[in-house]
């Protein structure tokens, strides 16, 4: 079957494995379940897309794997494994050590996540100082190499800049460089290119592919943009109202969607083309 997952028969484990995940918000004693029984895997070297309209539970699913849910949200059922580690069993301290080290997070808006008062180079190298005990000088040299690896020109000079001196695309690339500092096995990106113009978006997507190819990282990529999924992803989960309604290879989802909701999403994006290996959809 062409839609079979390419890693399915290997003896390796998924990098990220979410099982039976449910998340509820509590407001005035009333609990509302907003993520329902989600099952999702990301294998090493795989870019997995999560699509679905706004409010379908994509961000909360991603944030749960980082244990960064909003204050009133609670995981009511399920498990989340990173390799052999059950993340929901870790203490906050253990989780903090693991974030940025084994899992990198690329948020939608880099500017909000960068520290405006810290030079870019220092920020990009900071995980190495904090997690690996690098000296300032060694972290700075590593940061310059990381900035070069995300294609920031004159990295040695640019490292001295503050975030507001960077364009939106450069800020997002700096965030990615920071995320890569510790060579994480899992990268979670939540609509990382939504705020960028089309050309810069294409550069960032290319960069994410390069990272996957070079580091064999597993990538969980959240987006509402089906065009991005077609370009980037290997496997897709479709979410609606907090539940996964369908999952499959990009080729299968785009050419033989099973669920009515998936068909509706595809129909709403008429200019869409499937990945080149399967030709145009329409
Ligand atoms: N901070 C919050 N407080 C209350 N409800 C929230 C909060 N964040 C999200 N929700 C609820 O959870 C649902 C899923 O949200 P989210 O995961 O952010 O959706 P998506 O990323 O797919 O747009 C939303 O429709 C909303 O009802
Ligand atoms: Mg979201």
Query: pLDDT (tens digit, 0 to 9) for every residue of the chain, 282 residues total?
Result: 445 676 654 557 999 999 999 999 998 889 999 999 999 999 999 999 999 999 999 999 999 999 999 999 999 999 999 999 999 999 999 999 898 789 999 988 888 889 999 999 999 999 999 989 999 999 999 999 999 988 999 999 999 999 999 999 999 999 999 988 988 999 999 998 887 888 888 888 988 999 899 888 999 999 988 999 999 999 999 999 999 999 999 999 999 999 999 999 999 886 665 444 444 443
Between CA 68 and CA 57 the distance in angstroms is 14
Which residue's alpha carbon is at the smallest distance from atom 13 of ligand 1? 55
The reported pLDDT for the residue numbered 7 is: 62
Q: What pTM value is reported for the model?
A: 0.90
What's the Cα-to-Cα distance from 140 to each of 146, 169, 239, rounded to whole Å? 10, 21, 41
CA distance 156 to 152: 9
Domain 1-102+186-282, CATH:
3.40.50.300
Neighbours of 89 (CB within 10 A): 11
Asked if 102 and 186 count as a contact pair (C-beta separation under 8 A), the reply is yes
Q: Give, using CA atoms, the residue closest to atom 20 of ligand 1.
A: 55
Phi, psi of 120 (to 5 degrees): -55, -45
Ligand 1 atom nearest to 63, measured from its CA: 17
Quick one: pLDDT at residue 277?
45
The pLDDT value recorded for residue 220 is: 97
- How many A from CA of 226 to the centre of ligand 2? 15
pLDDT of residue 242: 98
Q: Are strands 73-82 and 243-249 parallel, antiparallel or unpaired?
A: unpaired
Spell out the domain ranges in the chain. Answer: 1-102+186-282, 110-183
Q: Best substitution site from 18, 21, 25 to test ligand 1's pocket, by max atoms within 8 Å of Cβ? A: 25
Protein residue with least CA distance to atom 12, ligand 1:
34
Question: Ligand 1: which residues within 6 Å by Cβ?
Answer: 25, 34, 52, 54-60, 70, 72
pLDDT, position 137: 96
Residue showing tokens 């669920």 = 259
Q: What is the C-alpha to C-alpha distance for residues 230 and 228, in angstroms, rounded to an integer?
A: 5
């Amino acid at each position: 079957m062409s839609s079979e997952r390419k890693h399915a028969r290997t003896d390796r484990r998924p990098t990220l494995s979410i099982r039976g995940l449910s998340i509820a918000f509590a407001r005035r004693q009333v609990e509302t379940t907003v993520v329902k029984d989600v099952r999702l895997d990301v294998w090493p070297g795989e870019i997995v897309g999560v699509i679905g309209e706004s409010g379908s539970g994509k961000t909360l699913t991603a944030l749960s794997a980082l244990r960064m849910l909003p204050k009133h949200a609670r995981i009511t059922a399920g498990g989340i494994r990173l390799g052999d580690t059950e993340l929901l069993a870790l203490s906050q301290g253990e989780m903090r050590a693991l974030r940025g080290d084994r899992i990198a997070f690329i948020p939608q808006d880099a500017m909000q996540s960068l520290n405006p008062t810290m030079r870019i180079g220092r920020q990009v190298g900071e995980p190495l100082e904090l997690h690996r005990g690098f000296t300032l000088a060694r972290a700075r040299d590593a940061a310059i190499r990381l900035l070069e690896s995300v294609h920031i020109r004159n990295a040695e000079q640019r490292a001295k800049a503050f975030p507001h001196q960077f364009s939106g695309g450069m800020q997002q690339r700096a965030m990615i460089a920071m995320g890569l500092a510790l060579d994480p096995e899992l990268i979670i990106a939540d609509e990382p290119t939504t705020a960028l113009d089309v050309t810069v978006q294409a550069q960032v997507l290319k960069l994410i592919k390069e990272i996957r190819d070079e580091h064999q990282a597993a990538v969980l990529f959240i987006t509402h943009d089906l065009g991005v999924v077609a370009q980037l992803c290997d496997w897709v989960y479709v979410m609606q109202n907090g539940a996964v309604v369908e999952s499959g290879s990009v080729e299968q989802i785009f050419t033989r969607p099973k669920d009515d909701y998936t068909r509706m999403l595809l129909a709403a994006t008429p200019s869409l083309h499937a990945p080149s290996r399967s030709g145009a959809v329409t």
